[in-house]
């Protein structure tokens, strides 16, 4: 009978167990605490590459207020311009309008006085140089600024605030994205986060383990535009979604508790 008592206690503990701490801690190490400071080179970040469907805000200014006459046409300095597009705000779900030039499937934009201009596959810096080089024939010393106005990351799954995150400075890490989404609760797995990325027509599925400091060395630590992050629920969260644990586990636990109480009373009365 004593074995049955122990067995019932074990079943109750297993049925009501929660996620262990190993999957709940960021950058966990199994080695004892080392007081020395370790360093890592921050060379994983790469400048954003302009892709099809990016919307570019392009501003052109000049140190001189003068512009050259080309025929009978005076060319003005270009600020903004382009077509209004709806862009999703940071985790809010609201839409705002932003003017910009849409990069088509061939990597081209239709820019004033330049016509079809190739920017796809270029970094922001390279695109600036390409456009300013073409504008020098009509604008004195042009200064070109380019920004991807729809540079966004989507985060789904077991986070406190899933949604879309805008990154106006074109630099965002997976830590930044998770922080913007309100962190991963204890019901989410930090050791197997999926990153979905489209790269030159190929969809990539990568995994990163935020329980380890090696996550900083991953080529997916810094995110790219249109990346999708999925945080998998922990085992206890999956249990909540199953019909068995949702409907039958409370009844089984209650029955076991009753049996344990009856057994305890019998033990006391027989002594």
**Would you say the pTM of this structure is higher than 0.85?**
no
pLDDT (0 to 100) of residue 64: 61
pLDDT (0 to 100) of residue 76: 46
Q: How many CB atoms lie within 10 A of CB 4?
A: 11
- Give the span between the Cα atoms of 33 and 160, in whole angstroms: 30
Identify the bridge partners of residue 122 per DSSP, sorted by sequence position: none
Which of 47, 152, 51 minimizes the C-alpha distance to 98? 152
pLDDT (0 to 100) of residue 144: 92
Instruction: Return all residues near 262 (Cβ < 8 A) that are at least 6 apart.
Output: none
- Map residue 138 onto helix, strand or coil: coil
- Give the span between the Cα atoms of 195 and 11, in whole angstroms: 36
Are the beta carbons of 109 and 101 closer than 8 angstroms?
Answer: yes
Cα 34 to Cα 39, 135, 159, 212, 213: the distances in Å are 13, 56, 31, 15, 14
Record the tokens describing residue 196, joined without a space. 């979905």
Greatest mean pLDDT range, 38-47, 142-151, 261-270 = 142-151
Mean pLDDT of 65-79: 49
Which of 241, 234, 184 minimizes the C-alpha distance to 210? 184
pLDDT (0 to 100) of residue 73: 42
Which of 51, 72, 60, 64 minimizes the C-alpha distance to 112? 60
Mean pLDDT of 158-185: 94
Query: Which residue reads 């074990």 in tokens?
Result: 10
Segment among 50-54, 141-145, 198-202, 252-256 with least mean pLDDT: 252-256
Query: Measured at the alpha carbon of residue 16, what is the angle toward residues 15 and 21, in degrees to the nearest 5?
Result: 115
Are the beta carbons of 112 and 78 closer than 8 angstroms?
Answer: yes
pLDDT (0 to 100) of residue 180: 95
Confidence of residue 269 (pLDDT cuts 50, 70, 90): confident
pLDDT tens per residue, range 190-249: 999 999 999 878 899 999 999 998 999 999 999 999 999 999 998 755 555 555 555 566
What domains lie within the chain, and their CATH numbers? 2-11+243-270 (no CATH), 21-29+40-46+151-233 (3.10.560.10), 55-148 (3.30.1950.10)
Write out the DSSP string of 197-235: EEETTEEEEEEE-TTSGGGGGSTTSB--TT-EEEEPBPH
């Amino acid at each position: 009978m004593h074995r049955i008592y122990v067995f019932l206690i074990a079943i109750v503990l297993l049925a009501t167990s929660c996620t262990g701490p190993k999957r709940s801690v960021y950058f966990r190490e199994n080695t004892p605490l080392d007081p020395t400071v370790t360093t890592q080179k921050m060379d994983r970040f790469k400048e954003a590459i302009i892709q099809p469907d990016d919307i570019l805000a392009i501003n052109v200014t000049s140190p001189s207020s003068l512009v050259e006459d080309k025929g009978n046409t005076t060319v003005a300095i270009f600020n903004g311009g382009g077509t209004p597009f709806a862009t999703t705000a940071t985790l809010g779900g609201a839409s705002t309008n932003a003017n910009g030039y849409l990069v088509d499937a061939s990597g081209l934009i239709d820019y004033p006085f330049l016509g079809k201009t190739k920017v796809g596959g270029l970094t922001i810096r390279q695109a600036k140089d390409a456009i300013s080089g073409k504008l020098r024939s009509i604008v004195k010393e042009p200064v070109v600024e380019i920004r991807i106005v729809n540079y966004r990351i989507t985060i789904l799954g077991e986070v406190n605030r899933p949604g879309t995150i805008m990154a106006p400075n074109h630099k965002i890490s997976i830590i930044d994205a998770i922080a913007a989404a309100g962190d991963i609760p204890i019901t989410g797995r930090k050791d197997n986060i999926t990153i979905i990325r489209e790269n030159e027509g190929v969809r990539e599925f990568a995994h990163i383990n935020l329980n380890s400091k090696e996550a900083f060395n991953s080529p997916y630590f810094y995110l790219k535009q249109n990346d999708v992050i999925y945080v998998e629920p922990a085992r206890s969260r999956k249990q909540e979604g199953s019909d068995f644990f949702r409907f039958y586990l409370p009844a089984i636990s209650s029955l076991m508790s009753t049996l344990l109480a009856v057994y305890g009373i019998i033990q006391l009365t027989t002594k």
